[in-house]
Chain A
Amino acid sequence: MDDKNFNDIDININDYDIVLKIKDENDIAVSRQMAKSFAQKNNFSLADVTKIATAVSELSRNIYRYAKEGYIYIKKKETEPDKDVSIEIIAYDRGPGIENVEQAVAGGYTTSERSLGLGLSGIRRLIDSFYIKSEVGKGTVVMAEKRRRRF
């Protein structure tokens, strides 16, 4: 088993409702669909379900594109039962890492041909809190959290 420690982030697989290995292109669609169902099941609004699914789709594609393989972890967080619910998404890989994280997150920066470089910057605007840690030669961890809005 891989050591899931990546610097200061400690991921305990057992804490997560969904653990998905991303290794071929089909896994991207699977991860997106699972994120969507999970958010729907937890009563997120349609707009937020779509945002969560889109964010997961971007993260999975980055793993597949740049790191070849990695993991998506998804879990529900709540302060008290059914109060202040949020969904946390972690994308983890031991790929090449990002040289200039600031640039990558700012948007418009891409190392792939025919791409817009809007993934990471977009995720940041789609969700409520965002954390990224990346080291060249070690890998990348992105953590994203979306809170459930009250109606």
Chain B
Amino acid sequence: MKDVVISRLGELVEGLAKKDEQKKAWEDFLVEFAEVCGKSDLKEKLKAPISNLLDRISEKELSDGIELLHEKLDNFPTVDVYKAIIEALGKKNDEYLVKIAELRDVLSELSTPIIHLWQDVLLAPVIGTLDSQRAQNMAEKLLENIADTRAKVVIVDVTGVSMIDTIVGEFLIEMFSAVKLLGSDVILTGIKPEIAHTLVKLGIDFNMVIIKRDLESALKYTIGKFSKGTEKKQSNTKRGDIDEN
């Protein structure tokens, strides 16, 4: 078998692929195959050549190629080759699953920062998808921060959230109620038009909080509110020009 493969290498490769890249992949495989064929425990020894091949050609090209070798070569160990292919694919699949699991962990580590904007104001930008674990972490962190800093206003910005379904809506409503119980005001900013649409259809409203279009309006509002409080003591001239948006 070894000698047959090597002597017919050129012819076989021509039949197996059209493009140079694939031809080279098959050539490398056939050379490695010739090396191990006839040896015991063939399937195990075929695994490495097969997975190298799979990195370079598609599954379809591989199965077409094996079919051709099966026809052209007497005693081609088709069964062992297929066993090796199935195991190589299984291993690849396992590797993907590990990767996916790791990516998930990376995502869930994305912590939700809480920014102390100034004395009495906290900013909580919400980013990405809120699964129950992340939502829980964020709420706890925010409430702790409020208790520590005695913030009077919390701006929750959802610009980075692409969708609010009922569970995220429920979570936000709960978090807002808890913040208010601590004696702080909530300003919600950054609801995108398409999300507003959806929220209306779902029947979720955030009427327990102050809503501002964006961070800028929220800041203006907050500054206005505070300066109103302090300036009143001195003079009353500044009233009325506060951006309510």
Are B201's CB and A125's CB within 8 A? yes
Are A29's CB and B129's CB within 8 A? yes
Asked if B6 CB lies within 8 Å of chain A CBs, one says no
Q: Which residue of B lies closest to A47 (CB)?
A: B194
Choose among A28, A115, A118, A121 the residue with the greatest number of B CB atoms under 10 Å from its CB.
Answer: A118
Are A126's CB and B165's CB within 8 A? no
Are B166's CB and A116's CB within 8 A? yes
Complex Cα–Cα for A122 and B168 (A): 14
Asked if A61 CB lies within 8 Å of chain B CBs, one says yes
Are B166's CB and A119's CB within 8 A? yes
Asked if A46 CB lies within 8 Å of chain B CBs, one says yes
Q: Which residue of A lies closest to B168 (CB)?
A: A57
Complex Cα–Cα for A50 and B198 (A): 7
Q: Which residue of A lies closest to B107 (CB)?
A: A29
Choose among A107, A116, A119 the residue with the greatest number of B CB atoms under 10 Å from its CB.
Answer: A116
Asked if A32 CB lies within 8 Å of chain B CBs, one says yes
Q: What residues on B are CB-neighbors of A67 within 8 Å? A: none
Asked if B170 CB lies within 8 Å of chain A CBs, one says yes
Asked if A25 CB lies within 8 Å of chain B CBs, one says yes
Asked if A114 CB lies within 8 Å of chain B CBs, one says yes
Instruction: Provide the main secondary structure of the chain A interface.
Output: helix
Instruction: Provide the main secondary structure of the chain B interface.
Output: helix
Are B203's CB and A54's CB within 8 A? no
Are A122's CB and B166's CB within 8 A? yes
Asked if A63 CB lies within 8 Å of chain B CBs, one says no
Contact with A along B192-226 (1 / 0, CB 8 A): 01110110011110000000000000000000000
Asked if B115 CB lies within 8 Å of chain A CBs, one says no
Complex Cα–Cα for A126 and B166 (A): 12
A-B pair number, CB within 8 angstroms: 66
Q: Which residue of A lies closest to B201 (CB)?
A: A125
Chain A, range 1-39, C-beta contacts under 8 Å to B: 25-26, 28-29, 32, 36
Are B201's CB and A122's CB within 8 A? yes
Known A25-B131, A122-B202; contact A51-B165, beta-carbon cutoff 8 A: no
Interface size class of A (residues with CB under 8 A): 20 to 34
Are B203's CB and A122's CB within 8 A? yes
Asked if B77 CB lies within 8 Å of chain A CBs, one says no
Q: What residues on A are CB-neighbors of B195 within 8 Å? A: 50
Asked if B231 CB lies within 8 Å of chain A CBs, one says no
Q: Which residue of B lies closest to A57 (CB)?
A: B165
Complex Cα–Cα for A126 and B104 (A): 29
Return B77 CB to nearest CB of chain A, in Å: 32
Return A96 CB to nearest CB of chain B, in Å: 20
Are A118's CB and B193's CB within 8 A? no
Are B197's CB and A51's CB within 8 A? yes
Q: What residues on A are CB-neighbors of B62 within 8 Å? A: none
Are A61's CB and B163's CB within 8 A? no
Contact of B170 among A57, A107, A116 (CB under 8 A): A116
Complex Cα–Cα for A115 and B174 (A): 10
Are A26's CB and B165's CB within 8 A? no
The 10 nearest A-B residue pairs measured at CB:
A122-B202, A50-B194, A125-B201, A57-B165, A47-B194, A126-B201, A118-B166, A54-B165, A46-B194, A47-B197
Beyond A61-B167, A118-B202, 18 additional contacts (C-beta under 8 Å) are A25-B132, A29-B131, A32-B165, A50-B163, A50-B194, A50-B198, A51-B201, A54-B163, A54-B164, A54-B165, A54-B202, A58-B166, A114-B174, A118-B169, A118-B203, A122-B201, A125-B201, A126-B201
A-B residue pairs in contact (CB < 8 Å), sample of 6:
A46-B194, A47-B198, A50-B198, A51-B201, A114-B174, A122-B203
